[in-house]
Structure 1
């Protein structure tokens, strides 16, 4: 399977003041499951359509394997049908008057594949996607999940070099979406196809992709594995977009005289750098240890198998999540601690900082700030048996 290389890719639409895609550089490796993740209007579908050849680039280039398929400077544009790409739309786009079998072999007929080979390839892909028993049915006789499998089978039957998926699960209910996520993982493992998947759903991206490209306003904010994206967000946008419940934001200089401000004082060794501090809800530790900062439980929300606890410390509201049934009561005062390795610090430009512990004679654990190494990787765990915390 080929590697997809996007170089300085730009897309302008007539009448628009800003570019939909702004000089993107991205490489999708051979056999990779890449997810383009971001809010609506961030340019992810536009990128997918340019890779497919449905849209032409306004600048930059697209290369699939050894073939340059789109380049403004070289006046090169390869039509979609010659790129060896399969595209599955958000709508299934099945022919309603054709049976499942005829829908699946539609592309093979267009390619004039001999009947015997066509029948064999069609049967193999239907069996792998577990729809062979529906071969004589029509799309209207299938469930949403079954129709989605037919749309995927139609693309896989022509053996595309690259499979592009444009939010294919968004029309399914929750149960079918969960089923199809498992199906897509199995398809990727079985066929080894290079897949580019567009989604605005972070859970789809985290559970399916080998790597994620987080996008905002036509630009890529960060590219990495799901663990890297979650544990080491490159900027505040990525930190806030990934995670549910959302990350808690703290701005230490706004409450420096409060109990929480005193607790965070060691982090302000270099105040010019540390401007914004984030902590994931599951990383907050609630206990009776008086070395932590005080907070009041203002709400306990059960979510089915987990609980969301709202905490108030002075003027700051924090959200904590746990899979252990809380023993705290409403309006009860508790003490909280923030594990140092779970804090995400950013400077005034939104660049990520490393929060490095420094041992001193007067204070067992303090912290200073320095710029992070891009190769450094930390993995969060919701169950920590040991951790370092900031001490008063």
Structure 2
């Protein structure tokens, strides 16, 4: 999934990557730099932990992870087939004893597009939380894989496997709110006390990309839209091609909210490239956010996401796991170009293109807190 949610341009191929309007508040929240503490994440040595063509013939993207009774549960977007002839995107569920080794459970999708519905074109970027005795899933959905048609949906499940979709989307673009007037997508939910907070990507009609936030007391009705965070221009300037932030998700460390996003940048090959990961935090006041002085990881940090054509690193799924702050993310490197040779890191299966092993997958990193009460 996703250059904003699956429009990935490659010279050899193309991968086609309800808001409560009366309650909207367009005020910009306050954010500033924080030099006191941010976790420094250590990547797992065996990344990617899930590779292209593992379990199915196709891709994996958009992880979200929960821990239930000492078992890790991951939901991911999946696109069957090759990257030159992609099929509609569905949602799968995985389980793991440790967060590194995963098994498909069940072996069939837990959510698929349904003809005649508002999500018949695709359903992706799953984000799942357990709230008030029920599993809640939020997704990006569309009739056709065109960004201007993206909406955010909500579904519920008693067991995390069998899902029921709401009859209508829960969040849509609002022309009256400039920072989310064109696109809303890529939800990330957080439960704190009795409130569910939903972060999401908002794009204006002039292409500005930032993170929005709404809240809910039932998981399906949302109020108080606000622009939560925007890209820190002192670190990621326009002169270096940075457009903004996307694909948010958050977790609690004590009472501190840690918010993770992608960094969106334009380059000579595409107008939308998600090239790294950044973190923000709020000390309990969701109207005031602080940002780290540097990135978490950039795509050029890893061999499997490093290249000078189309390489991406995106989609953080955070989880506070006892004294470890863990994250899962995905990325790819579909091309390496140098003056001598051009290698696209793809191969043919029949007439279809597939990435070579180790060039598209899901990875993980973590930070170990020595004393959570001091460090958060």
Bigger radius of gyration among the two:
1
Higher helix content, 1 or 2: 1
Higher strand share: 2
TM range (shorter): under 0.3
- Say which structure, 1 or 2, has more relative contact order (CA 8 Å, 6+ apart): 2
Give the alignment's TM-score, normalised by structure 1: 0.24
TM-score (norm 2): 0.25
